[in-house]
Structures are given as C-alpha cells and as structure tokens.
Amino acid sequence: MQTRIQGTVMPVLEVRLEPNDSVFAESGELSWMTSSIQMTTHTQMGGGGGLLGMFKRVVSGGSLFMTEYRAVQAPGEVAFATKVPGHIVPVPVSPGNEYLVHRHGFLCATPQVTIGVGFQQSLGAGIFGGNGFVLQKLGGTGTAWLELSGELIRKDLAPGETLRVHPGHVGAFQASVSFQITTVPGIKNAIFGGDGIFLAALTGPGTVWLQTLPISRLAHQVAEYLPSNEGGGGRATVGGALLGGIVGSLLSNDDN
C-alpha cells in the first residue's frame, strides 16, 4: 500500500492498493477510484464487531454503514478528499497508542483499526441542541487518516501541562492526554464574554492537534447571508439550529 496527500487548501488522500489490500471509510466519503477497486458496504467494519461495534460508531457520531475498498486482481487507487478547507493527517494506531478525534474527523483507515465512542457528555438540550459533546476513539492496529478543518496547530503537552481550548478547535489528541469539559470561570465571562460557556481542558502528556476553522463557526457566519422566510421565521430557525453548533464542531451532525 502506498499513499500520498495532494493539494493545499482542499487536500485529497490517494491510496494505491496492491491486490487484496483494502481500506475502509464511512459511506459517502469516496472521491474517485480506478476500475480494479471493489466496493463493499456493510455494518461490520471499524467498530470491534457485531451489533456492539455498530452501536459504538453511531453513538460516537459516525455512520451506521462502512464501505470497504479492496483491490482485486490488479493494483488500484482510491481517493478521499476533504469536505472543507483543511488538512489530512495520518496517524499510526496500535495498543497503547490510541487517539480521540472530533466526531467527524475520521476519513479512512486500514482494516484492523477500530472506531468507538471515546467521550460523551450532554451539554443541555435547550441551549446546545441536545447532541452533547462526543469524541470518536480510534484503536486497534494500523493507520488512520484524519480530516481536520482550517490550519493545523500541533501542541506537545508535558506531563501535568494543561491547555484550555474552545471545544470546536479540538481536532484530535493522543489517548494519553486527559480530557474534560469545564465551564468558563466567572458569571460575567460566561454571559457576556462571547466565547461560549464551555472549554475543553486537555492535560498532558501527549500530542494535541488543534483546528483553526470549526465548521460551526463558519456556518454561524454564513447564516447571516442565508434567505429567510416571511416574518423572519426562517432566519430564526437557521440561527436556532446553528446555536447548538457554536460550542464546537462536535456538537451537531452537520458541523464538520
């Protein structure tokens, strides 16, 4: 198997597979492939097996169905492009070297990589849309490719070093990093600060990848230019739906 990442603002991952080599991705991620690649869509890949694996994927924000791309009889190529401006990051996965990723950050992986729910916390149905804050956990053995939006900032945290981050900017981090959701200190900061109520606290040791373009924030800016229904009801509906995404790109199935 050979891989290359091409492009700058909107990169694409091209994977060249030898006969019987395969990768898998969530359904709908394919950009293009050669004629020797065989697609097989099912529910059994990436979750650790059976109904439990399917449940873990759905809970972690992933798709129920996964698609395997396998080269048959001859070498072939399959490609996966980013959905928004950003970066594609390959990470080696092995026991003791696992990763937590924002709920739509998984692009594709080799067959022995598993996907499950790594963190889930409800942040209130009325204000935040009820979806809560969810992270996917990548385990098993192999290579996974992540899709992170905007520019990519890498932070290597020393043991005990803590970084507080707006949740939407959390792209991925090693499982050795301790993670928890905290509230913004001070009632005035929470109400009038404009930075949201919650922050993610990440404590080392380990590596953290931050993304500079949470899709929720991009959507919030674009909403101003969307047409509204008579009486402003459409604008209110759009704004209300997007409010839940302001906490970060992990809060809505449409945010990333």
CATH number at residue 25: 3.60.160.10
The pLDDT tens digits of the residues spanning 62-117 come to 566 889 999 999 999 999 999 889 999 999 999 999 999 998 899 999 999 998 88
212/215 Cα distance (integer angstroms): 10
Residue 56: pLDDT above 50? yes
Residue of higher predicted confidence among 5 and 219: 5
Pairing relationship of beta strands 142-149 and 113-121 according to DSSP bridges: unpaired
- Considering the domain boundaries, does residue 121 fall inside one? yes
pLDDT at 43: 72
| Beta-bridge partners for 153 | 210
- pLDDT tier, 237 (very low <50, low <70, confident <90, very high otherwise): very low
Percentage of residues of the chain with pLDDT beyond 70: 69
Mean pLDDT across 212-220: 75
Q: Are 198 and 123 spatial neighbours (Cβ–Cβ below 8 Å)?
A: yes
Q: What is the dihedral of CA 8, 250, 137, 45, to 10 degrees?
A: -80
> Tokens 């129920």, residue?
64
Is 125's pLDDT higher than 80? no
Q: Is there a cis peptide before residue 205, judged by omega within 30 degrees of 0?
A: yes
Q: Which residue has the tokens 């401006």?
A: 85
With b for 16 or more beta-carbon neighbours within 10 A and e for fewer, the 152-185 pattern comes to beebebeeeeebebbbbbbbbbbbbbebebeebe
By residue count, the chain amounts to 256
Query: Is residue 197, in this structure, part of any structural domain at all?
Result: yes
Q: With respect to residue 217, please indicate whether it lies within any of the assigned structural domains.
A: yes
Which of residues 149 and 123 earns the better pLDDT score? 149
pLDDT bucket at 53, cuts 50 / 70 / 90: low
Better pLDDT: 132 or 118: 118
Q: Is residue 247 a contact partner of residue 168, using CB atoms and an 8 Å limit?
A: yes
- Answer yes or no: is 221 within a domain: yes
Q: Is residue 253 part of a domain?
A: no
In a domain, 248, yes or no: no
Q: Evaluate if residue 51 carries a pLDDT over 60.
A: no
Q: How many domains does the chain have?
A: 1
Question: Model pTM?
Answer: 0.76
Question: Torsion over CA of 59, 65, 66 and 71, rounded to 10 degrees?
Answer: 170
Domain of residue 220, residue span? 2-243
Q: What is the mean pLDDT of the chain?
A: 79
Is 252 part of a structural domain of the chain?
Answer: no
Sign of the CA dihedral with 54 first, then 58, 61, and 62 last: positive
Give a yes or no: residue 254 inside a domain.
no
Digit-coded pLDDT (tens) for 179-194: 988 876 655 444 444 4
Between CA 138 and CA 93 the distance in angstroms is 7
pLDDT band at 129, cuts 50/70/90? Answer: very low
Lowest mean pLDDT among 20-29, 52-61, 127-136, 230-239: 230-239
